[in-house]
Amino acid sequence: MQQPAALELIDESARFFSAPDGDPLEALEKAHVTQLTICDMLEQIADSIPGQINRLTCGRLAEMLLPLIRNIHSFEEETLYPQAMDRLGTAPEIETTITRLKFEHCEDECFAEELADALHELASGNAPKNPEATGYMLRGFFEAMRRHIAFEHDHLVRLMRHAVTEEQHGLVTG
């Protein structure tokens, strides 16, 4: 995705997740698309260090990253996971899955704070003091986030979709 379109998507998502509504599974899909877009942008930034840094993109991401990620995590933890527990409470390992996902949210938020500082530095036009360390930090963040999304998708979304289909089927035949 081109940078302006990616920034627009992130802007729109930031508005949505400041007061999320509608179907939680659809909202989660939006959260995953948004987070994967952020990951792709961070990867482009990591590839651009030290010579071709897009300062505008770094500045926008530095501002939006932490509040957006916090809002997405709040939505997941306050709306989606309780619903998953209600629907899938009897599924094996659901509690362990949710505990792991919440722990990863916590780690990502800590990491995002450091990352926002690094992005501010890149946006300021000052050459990073240690370009390799900055690149390493960016990669560490987006790789962990991609793993989190894949895990959330495989261990939660699929089960929830299956449960929804079963409920609908039950309604039709019951």
**Site for Fe ion, rule CB under 5 A:** 76, 152
Task: Decide whether 53 or 94 has the Cβ nearer to Fe ion.
Answer: 94
Query: Rounded to the nearest whole angstrom, what is the least distance from the CB of residue 171 to Fe ion in the complex?
Result: 29
| Residue 127 beta carbon to Fe ion: minimum distance, rounded to whole angstroms | 34
Shortest reach from residue 101's CB to Fe ion, in Å: 5
Nearer to Fe ion, 9 or 157 (CB): 157
Q: Pick the closer one to Fe ion by CB: 20 or 152.
A: 152
Provide the 3-class DSSP secondary structure of residue 54: coil
Classify residue 131 as exposed, middle or buried by CB count within 10 Å of its CB (0-12, 13-18, 19+): middle
CA distance 61 to 115: 10
Report which of 115, 102, 122, 119 is spatially closest to residue 143, judged by C-alpha positions.
115
